[in-house]
Amino acid sequence: KVIYFIYDKDEADKCIPVEKYLKKKGYEVIKNEFEGDPNQLRDLHRKNLKMCDATLIYYGYHNDKWMRSKLNDMMKSLGMGRDKPISPKGILVDKALQFQEKLDFGKDAMVLTSSGEFNPDAIEPFLARLTN
């Protein structure tokens, strides 16, 4: 199974343990890129949305516009050539309650809470849904 792991450049260090854990569990992890031509980066992002089995977004930074754009991209992914909707869609957030009040993640998004250091238990419900 292929997981598209999406995060903000400022959160890259916090995402290393998550990526390592996913790979250790046997998943193929593709990530968003940060360097390069904006048009090529956008095309790569769309390609990743098209080919992944699931998406996991790390949201720990206070960037609501960025988060909304990623959620919109997932909703539009069927128009990008996908045969079926992305499922599951996981959102790993720090201090989830605060963000859930401000953003509507959508009815099919799994909000996974994490606080501080990464705890693998936080994403197990997401992985369980992916394997079923």
Report the run of H or E that residue 93 belongs to, with start and end.
strand 89-94
pLDDT score recorded for residue 99? 54
Per the model's pLDDT, the better-predicted residue between 72 and 55 turns out to be 55
Examine the pLDDT at 76 and tell me if it is beyond 60: yes
> What CATH number has the domain bearing residue 42?
3.40.50.450
Domain span at residue 73 reads 2-131
pLDDT score recorded for residue 11? 86
Query: What pLDDT, in 10s, does the model give residues 16-41?
Result: 999 999 999 999 999 988 988 989 99
Over range 80-104, report the average pLDDT. Answer: 71
% of the chain surpassing 70 pLDDT: 89
Decide: pTM greater than 0.85: yes
- DSSP letters spanning 6-36: EE-GGGHHHHHHHHHHHHHTT-EEEE---SS
Over range 82-89, report the average pLDDT. Answer: 82
Examine the pLDDT at 88 and tell me if it is beyond 80: yes
Residues in the chain: 132
Over range 54-80, report the average pLDDT. Answer: 83
Tally of domains in the chain: 1
For 100, other C-beta atoms within 10 Å of its C-beta total 14
